[in-house]
Amino acid sequence: MDFGFNDEQRMWNDVVQNFMVNEVGQDYTLEHDLSREFPEDVYRKMGEMGWLGLLIPEELGGMATDPVMFAIFCEGIGKYSLDTAACIMTSMFTVTNICRHGTPEQQERYIPPFLRGESKFSISISEPQSGSDAAGGRSTARLEGDEWVLNGNKVWCSGAHLPDTTIAILARTSQDRYGGFSLFLVPNDTPGLHIKKMNTLVRKSLGTTEFFMDDLRIPKSAILGEVGKGWQYIGEHLDLERLSIAASQVGNARTALDDTKRYLTDREAFGKKLSQFQVLKHRMADDETELSAARLMVYYAADKLSRGEKAAGDVAKAKLFAAKTLFQIAFNGMQALGGYAQLPEYHMERYFREAKHGMVGGGTNEILRSIIAKSMGL
């Protein structure tokens, strides 16, 4: 078993890491976190380089990379912020639904501008009364002549407010618990769609929203795939979504640990470097050990997906462990930096805030444990 990258993967890792250092950086990330602004120029640069098309088939203009190469990308773009990573990844795994199930007309309308970095996608599943229990959603879509009419209330829809964004909305077309959902492509400037950005602790650059659909009318052709298959379609991209989050958590944990180590090496107290105190050295050693394990779990799951094997349990394990690892590393970083950890310009408070969100977004730790238990036959 080979635990290392091959030449192509190693080169790709270097390219992404260098891009983040030279084209993004911590100061840029901090600026957009404080201003709650989307990193539009970075998004467009990635479009120009073809990176937004990593998961899109070559016949549709993409690069058709495998999940390992995608994980390398997500680990890299998570370097300074899980929020920055989400600004890119959310559109990338959402558009895979159009690649798989869209009509030629939908693919022609939505994919080329996305590949150029001119448009974005958002996915809407949760509702106020149904978060983890997504099948409890009550928003409805009914067919009236040549139009679908949507009504209901959605929440935690990240990036739905951004200009030139199309939302993939899961809505109920019958009362069947799982077979009663369909998926619709709705441009966010459609009349009858009322979007409100939420003042959250994290997701400041991407932003997350609540929106209401009040007799929202869209063409009959706006349905994605078949009626009643929405739940199935959403499930198809969840492994990639969770893998992307786990990989970005590993990338962010590496930076948080490196920042902590640098501070402990530079700072003196009681006549010696903080890094010389055994309690702090051992804490960092534990963090390094768990981070190494988390990274291996991410790439083990990615490799299984690349081979076409079922890996829902392995992806769940990777995300669960990576989330816990990042949170512990960020927590230890907050302790090590003391009062300075409270200052945004030291970045650790951002890592800490976003680490906590990582235990909820894309599947809570509790849901992930249920998936793992199911993979065990329990």
Q: List, for residues 201-254, the tens digit of each pLDDT value.
A: 999 999 999 999 999 999 999 999 999 999 999 988 899 999 999 999 999 999
**CA distances, 217 to each of 93, 110, 145 (Å):** 26, 19, 11
CB-CB contact of 347 with 26 (8 Å): yes
Nearest to 79 by CA among 341, 240, 258, 297: 258
Residue partners of 273: CB distance under 8 A and separation at least 6: 264, 265, 266, 267
Paired with 197 in beta bridges are 209
Instruction: Give the CATH superfamily of 121-231.
Output: Butyryl-CoA Dehydrogenase, subunit A, domain 2 (2.40.110.10)
| CATH architecture designation of domain 234-375 | Up-down Bundle (1.20)
Length of the chain: 378
Average pLDDT over residues 21-35: 96
Q: How far apart are CA 337 and CA 246, in angstroms?
A: 25
Q: How confident is the model at residue 273, as a pLDDT?
A: 93
- Residues of the chain above pLDDT 70, percent: 100
Decide if pLDDT at 61 tops 90.
yes
Would 7-119 and 234-375 be classified into the same CATH topology?
no
pLDDT band at 133 (very low <50, low <70, confident <90, very high): confident
CB-CB contact of 55 with 93 (8 Å): yes
Decide if pLDDT at 312 tops 80.
yes
Domain boundaries, the chain: 7-119, 121-231, 234-375
CB-CB contact of 312 with 242 (8 Å): no
**CA distances, 45 to each of 24, 48, 85, 115, 164 (Å):** 11, 5, 14, 11, 17
Q: What is the pTM of this model?
A: 0.95
Q: How confident is the model at residue 10, as a pLDDT?
A: 97
Q: How confident is the model at residue 1, as a pLDDT?
A: 61
Q: How far does Cα 112 stand from its chain's mean position?
A: 22
Q: How confident is the model at residue 237, as a pLDDT?
A: 85
Instruction: Please provide the CATH number assigned to the domain covering 7-119.
Output: 1.10.540.10
Q: Output the CA torsion sign for 39, 41, 43, 49.
A: negative
Reading the block at residue 167, the tokens are 């939302």
Average pLDDT over residues 346-360: 96
Nearest to 156 by CA among 186, 121, 127, 185: 127
Q: Looking at mean pLDDT, say which of 4-8, 264-268, 326-330 comes out highest.
A: 326-330
Decide if pLDDT at 261 tops 70.
yes
Q: Output the CA torsion sign for 356, 206, 190, 120.
A: negative
Q: Which residue type sits at 294?
A: A
Average pLDDT over residues 335-350: 96
Average pLDDT over residues 70-86: 98
Secondary structure of 123-137 in the HEC alphabet?
A: EECCECCECCCHHHC
CB-CB contact of 168 with 122 (8 Å): yes
Q: How confident is the model at residue 135, as a pLDDT?
A: 86
- Calculate the average pLDDT of the chain: 96
Q: Which residue type sits at 156?
A: W
Please give the DSSP secondary-structure letter assigned to residue 136.
G
Average pLDDT over residues 275-304: 96
